[in-house]
Amino acid sequence: MESVPHDSDALAPAIDLEYVGNCAARPNRGEFKKELDYFSSAIESHYGIKPVLYTKKQFYKDYLAGTDYASYPLWLRDVWSKPDTKDYPTMVYWQYADRGRLTGINGPVDWNVQLKTK
C-alpha cells in the first residue's frame, strides 16, 4: 500500500474476488467473510474509502449477495451479456471483453466501461 498514492483523483482501490480454475477447495461463506473483513478493513483504513469489488456473477451470488459487501461499489465481469443493473445496483464498472485488441499491446486486452460515478 506504500506505493499507491492517496490522490483524490486516483481510481479507488479494488479487490479481485473470483474463482480460479484449479481451486477445488472453496471456503464456506463464514470463513470467506472473515478473511475479506480483515483485508477490506485494512484497505478502507488506509485509503479512507470502500474498495471496489471486482467479481463475476456466480462469485457474487455465492459470497457477496445478502451481506454488507452487497453495498460496496461493484466491478462486474461479464463478457457474454450486459448485466442488469437492477440485479447489481452498486455496479460502477463492467468488464465487457477480455480479448480486445489495442495497437501497441501484444495479446488480448480487458475492456471495461464506467457505468456511473459514486
For 98, how many CA atoms within 13 A lie in the half-sphere containing its CB? Answer: 7
Q: What is the pLDDT along the chain (118 residues), one digit of tens a residue?
A: 567 777 777 888 999 998 887 677 888 999 999 999 999 999 999 999 999 999 999 999 999 999 999 999 999 999 999 999 899 999 999 999 998 899 999 999 999 999 865 4
Q: How far is CA 29 from CA 35, 51, 89, 93, in A?
A: 10, 19, 22, 24
Domain positions in the chain: 14-114
Of the candidates 40, 91, 44, which has an alpha carbon nearest to the alpha carbon of residue 65? 91
Of the candidates 111, 100, 117, which has an alpha carbon nearest to the alpha carbon of residue 11? 117
Contact 78, 93 (CB under 8 A): no
- Residue type at position 94: W
**What is the assigned CATH class of domain 14-114?**
alpha beta
